[in-house]
Amino acid sequence: MHDIIDTFAHDSWVLPYLKRYKGLLLLVIFLGFMTFFCGSALMFTSGYLISRAAQRPENILLIYVPIVLTRAFGIGRPAFRYAQRLTSHNWVLRIVSDFRKKLYLAVEKTAVTIRQERQTGDILAVLADDIEHIENLYLRTIFPVIIGWLLYIVVTVAIGGFNWAFGLLMFLLFGMITIVIPLISVAVNGARVYKTREIQHDFYVGLTDSVLGLADWVIAGRQKDLVANQDQPIEAQVRLRRQDHHFTWWRDFTTQMFVGIITIVMLVFADVEFGGSDKLVNWIAAFTLAIFPTIDAFQGIAQGFTEWPSHQASIRRVNDFDHNEKTASAVPQVEVVPNDFTALNINDVTFQYENGKAPAVSHLNLQIKKGEKLAILGPSGAGKSTLLKLLLGDLTATDGQILVNDIDVAALQTHRAELFGVLDQQPYLFNSTVMNNVRLGNLAATDEQVIAAVEAVGLGELVAGLPDGYQTAMSEGGNRFSGGERQRFALARILLQDAPIIILDEPTVSLDPITEAAILATIFKLFKDKTIIWVTHHLMGVKYVDQVRFIENGQFEMVGSPAELYQTEPRFKKLLDLDRGLTTE
Ligand code: ADP
Ligand code: MG
């Protein structure tokens, strides 16, 4: 109980909604109650009717009332059930839609902070799983438990009206099913359900991480380990599920045992109460049969209780999301005309991730002037991506400054798209037409400008050959196009965007050497007047740049033009020769 209060103490995801749609909630509970009430009443009147009919009444009119009632309850039960389903789902869908919006706003407001503090998989887990759990919290826990308990009270009070002692006995017997077994369930099985959920959650996080870093696993030759890693949690889950099934079986068996006991007790009671008289004897069947439908309602309680711990974990997690929310740093934004871009300065920049041991980059200094081309090389984990995120303002330097024309990048975030064109490893193509996808670079571009950009990146012929030309739909992710073609589409976008600084984060990492060489040639031809900062992991195309910087352990190591480094750094010479040999440039 303390646990439950604790969970809801700072809750802003469940309770407010219970309040907001109060009327609908009451309707759901009323309809649910009526469904079971009609079920019981149907059995009650049928029991009476069958029993009375067996006495061969002289006139059909003597059993006319129970006949009508049987019909009424018979129709009433499915009708109420249907209405209850409709209203409860309506209720849940309303909430879920509010929910998604709330979650979106929470994520959007703190997109930068989240990227720093959370793994992508974490958010995926919330989106995919927690919302569904809170849906189920209502549909499978809250509604059934309230309806079940309501019925429990009404039934025992009704029986108590006949005979208070027997009412008390029934109160205790039903209590086994409605209270004791659910409590045991949650104590025994709750932990298991919770554990299953935790494994599932870790699995999402781990899997996302692995997928995002897929290339690294392949490069390390550890594909087998990757697959084995994914199997492990699945096996653990299967084990837990099996125990869960076992427990559920025993729980249902015990419940049925009590149902048997209750039925017999009811039969005995009804016999003692009504057995003596020819007139009253028919009530025996009525009372006894009426028990069965209530059991359905009571069984939902135990199920709902068992699922509580896993729902609880979700409630905690979404609330956690809220409370960790930091308001985005309110750096006042400035006006700039990006065409006036003159230089980008990195002044003694250090950045440490909150959960990182050592700084990811430390004391970096660099100046890039308008039109200069820089290549940044370094092994995986050296800090290349971190540096690019700092440049773009996605991360804020722990120490030092990054200045565009003497203005801190943090103050330029509203003009980001006018300053930076970014091409990364996997540009995203949306489920829309070719025209719309390319126009994303600059929504004000005319059709002619879009076509010119597509032709400039060398895709004119390809698009002309598509079934609907520029109106052809790119399926989501752009599956119909090769990796090189997707990069070219992304280049067309950046071309339209016409920003002075182009950031390339290993844009050719997933391409074959021939496509890679062609794409690099296109990039450096198209953007020959722009400033380019290019992160790469090998030396193909390095001849295009003015300056090369090696980064290792978050620090710049070798610096110079390709020609200088070729002369002075044997390591560079060796790498370049190796690369040439490999690719016969
Ligand atoms: P690169 O792009 O050169 O492969 P990164 O900039 O991605 O390297 O990473 C630099 C270092 O920072 C690595 O040690 C990496 O583990 C760490 N790092 C990267 N992202 C995060 C993060 N979100 N949280 C904590 N540490 C991180
Ligand atoms: Mg990287």
Residues 491 and 560 placed together within one structural domain of the fold: yes
> Which of 177, 180, 178, 158 has its CA nearest to residue 167?
158
Give, for ligand 1, the residue of 380, 385, 535, 553 to mutate: max count of ligand atoms closer than 8 Å to Cβ.
385
* pLDDT, position 549: 92
Q: What is the Å distance from ligand 2's center to 179 Cα?
A: 55
* Cα separation, 80 vs 68, whole angstroms: 18
One domain, residues 179 and 297: yes
pLDDT of 379 over the 60 cut: yes
Q: Does the structure show a pLDDT above 70 at 247?
A: yes
Q: Which of 119, 209, 219, 386 maximizes ligand 1 atoms within 8 Å of its Cβ, making it the mutation to test the pocket?
A: 386
**536 in a domain, yes or no?**
yes
Q: How high is the pLDDT of residue 126?
A: 67
Confidence (pTM): 0.56
> In this predicted model, what pLDDT tens digit does every residue of 443-475 receive, in sequence order?
889 999 999 999 999 989 999 988 888 898 887
Note whether residue 398 is domain-resident. yes
User: pLDDT (tens digit, 9 = 90+) per residue, 19-37?
Assistant: 888 898 899 999 999 999 9
487 and 564 part of one domain = yes
- For residue 46, what pLDDT is reported? 94
**Residues 395-400: contacts with CB within 8 Å, 24+ apart?**
395/112, 395/116, 395/351, 396/329, 397/349, 397/350, 397/351, 398/350, 398/351, 398/352, 398/359, 399/348, 399/349, 399/350, 399/351, 400/346, 400/347, 400/348, 400/349, 400/350, 400/363, 400/364
Is 16 a pocket residue for ligand 1 (Cβ < 6 Å)? no
| Rounded mean pLDDT, 286-309 | 87
Task: Give a yes or no: residue 358 inside a domain.
Answer: yes
Average pLDDT over residues 372-391: 90
Residue 424 predicted with pLDDT over 50: yes
Q: Give the CATH number, domain containing residue 96.
A: 1.20.1560.10
| Residue 327, pLDDT score | 42
Residues 424 and 572 in one domain: yes
Residue 381 CB less than 6 A away from ligand 1: yes
Instruction: Give per-residue pLDDT as tens, 92-123.
Output: 888 888 887 877 776 665 554 444 445 555 66
Ligand 2 centre distance from Cα of residue 385 (Å): 4
Domain co-membership, 169 together with 285 = yes
Q: Flag whether 217 is in a domain.
A: yes
- Has residue 538 got a pLDDT over 60? yes
Question: Chain-wide mean pLDDT for the chain?
Answer: 84
- Would you place residue 330 in the very low, low, confident or very high pLDDT band (cuts 50, 70, 90)? low
Q: How many residues does the chain have?
A: 585
What is the average per-residue pLDDT within 399-422?
Answer: 87
Does residue 352 sit in the same domain as residue 258?
no
What percentage of the chain exceeds 70 in pLDDT? 91
Domain identity same for 311 and 344: no
Q: Which of 256, 282, 317 is the last residue of a domain?
A: 317
Q: 311 and 370: one domain?
A: no
Chain centroid to CA 440: 26
- In ligand 1, the atom with minimum distance to the C-alpha of 387 is 6
Give pLDDT tens digits for 130-185.
788 888 888 888 889 999 999 999 989 988 988 889 899 999 999 999 999 999 98
The pLDDT assigned to 111 comes to 55
- Assess if residue 325 is contained within a domain: no
> Is residue 415 pLDDT above 70, yes or no?
yes
Q: Is residue 328 domain-resident?
A: no
pLDDT at 125 (0 to 100): 63
71-98 per-residue burial string, b: 16 or more CB within 10 A, e: under 16: eebbebbeebbebbeebbeebbeebbee
The structural domain count of the chain equals 2
What does the buried/exposed string (b/e) look like for 448-481 if buried means 16 or more CB atoms within 10 Å of the residue's CB? ebbbebbebbbbeeebeebeeebeebbeeebeeb
Q: Which domain holds residue 573?
A: 338-580
Q: Ligand 1 in contact with 76 (CB < 6 A)?
A: no
Average pLDDT over residues 215-233: 75
Whether residues 257 and 348 fall in one domain: no
Check which CATH number belongs to the domain holding 400 and give it: 3.40.50.300
- 305 with 206, same domain? yes
pLDDT (average), residues 208-237: 76
**Smallest-distance ligand from the CA of 394:** 1
Q: Tokens in use for 94?
A: 């309303």
Question: Does residue 553 lie in a domain region?
Answer: yes
Residue 102 lies inside a defined structural domain of this protein? yes
* Among 317, 351, 381, residue at a domain's last position: 317
Residue 309, pLDDT score: 82
Tokens 């934004």 sit on residue: 333
Closest ligand (CA of 382): 1
Q: Judge if 272 and 197 occupy the same domain.
A: yes
Regarding whether 374 and 234 lie in a shared domain, the answer is no
For residues 243 and 190, the answer to whether their CB atoms sit within 8 Å is: no
